Amino acid sequence: MAAHWLPNSCSPATVDSMQSMQFSPLIVSGKRTQCFEDSVPGKRSRAHESLVSPTGHDPHAGAMMANPAPNYADTQLLLSIPHQLLNLEMSQARQLQQLDYSPPVSFIYNPLEYAVETHSQFVYRYCTTTKPVLFVGMNPGPFGMAQTGVPFGEVNMVRDWLGIYGYVGKPPREHPNRPITGFGCHRSEVSGQRFWGFFQDLCKTPDNFFRYAFVQNYCPLVFVKDSGKNVTPNDLPLANRKQVQDICDRSIVDMIRLLQVKVVIGLGRFSEERVKAALQSAGIYNIPVGFLMHPSPINPVANRGWNAIAMQQLSQMDVLRYFMPQYGMTMY
């Protein structure tokens, strides 16, 4: 039976109307960020509602009145990159969700929808400028981005190092063995712990990493079998694989152009090869695409010391200068 996407109850807006959503301010842990809200005057997101006291008093109302959100028209330059990136991602996801998927795909999760608040926090906090370096993963992992809305989003690293936290809803159809519990997920995604843990050691702070780099997935959806096992994009049935690749190839090129990327680093051979093919199809030959071994525990080589391998490969690509504070890099 083909798997179909249905609108999530997390938001009353359908995917077709999501493009018309406006960004409104959200205060999380004392910091301003942005989240998607329906274009309904006075409507607050669930994450915002969760910050309101049981008596109905909003403890942040005074702060919001004292520091009103800037008008979008007045801050178009500041918001243009994250706004455009989120629109590109949503367009990509919408196209992918409109496909009819053949077995073994039975369930489809879209973290960009049910984890829209935390994902938009991530983009608005860390992707406000162009990025010379773009890391590209394959697609969300079941215990990483599927739970938090952040690429390689192991719960502890996302909450405690990246400082991203918020409401995560549910996909419209959920496999009982792959529940979405958001930041309540007790399983750690090893790939995400290794990836962000490595850059935590290397960069010390998230700002040092994101000053010149960003992380994106080639495909934003999670594909799940009847058994609950993950289906990676390269394991999709041939017809679906071609459809997915056509959409994702175009989207990753659009994102590379938007962020004015100088070098792409594919996490794993699949991501590396797809980005190379996408750039070639678009007639872009001046952006090198490097390879970084995927930190997945499925890879026995990665289990024997991924950090040392990553350091060596990044050094060979001559990109460590973007991440190590001692270089004191201020321009690119």
Q: What is the pTM for the complete model shown?
A: 0.78
Would you state the pLDDT for residue 323?
A: 93
Residue type, 75: T
Work out the average pLDDT over 207-229: 98
Mean of the per-residue pLDDT values for the chain?
82
The helix/strand/coil state of 308 is helix
pLDDT, tens only, 41-91: 233 333 333 332 333 333 333 333 334 444 544 455 445 899 999 999 999
Cα separation of 202 and 200, whole Å? 6
The third-level CATH classification (topology) of the domain covering 85-320 is Uracil-DNA Glycosylase, subunit E (3.40.470)
Question: pLDDT above 70 covers what percent of the chain?
Answer: 74
Domain ranges across the chain: 85-320
Whether 286 shows a pLDDT value over 60: the answer reads yes
Whether 207 shows a pLDDT value over 80: the answer reads yes
Query: 255: burial class by Cβ within 10 Å (0-12, 13-18, 19+)?
Result: buried
Helix/strand/coil (H/E/C) assignment for every residue in 21-72: CEEEEEEECCEEEEEEECCCCCCCCHHHHCCCCCCCCCCCHHHHHHCCCCCH
pLDDT, tens only, 84-124: 999 999 999 999 999 999 999 999 999 999 999 999 999 99
Cα separation of 245 and 104, whole Å? 18
Of residues 330 and 29, more confidence is placed in 330
263 C-beta neighbours (distance < 10 Å), count: 16
Could you tell me where the DSSP H helices lie in the chain? 15-18, 46-49, 61-66, 76-97, 111-114, 116-126, 145-148, 155-156, 190-203, 206-210, 238-259, 269-281, 306-316
Token pair, residue 74, equals 């007045």
Residue type, 145: M
Tell me the backbone φ, ψ of residue 215, rounded to 5 degrees.
-125, 130
Quote the crossing angle between the two packed helices 238-259 and 269-281, to the nearest 10°.
Answer: 70
Would you state the pLDDT for residue 231?
A: 97
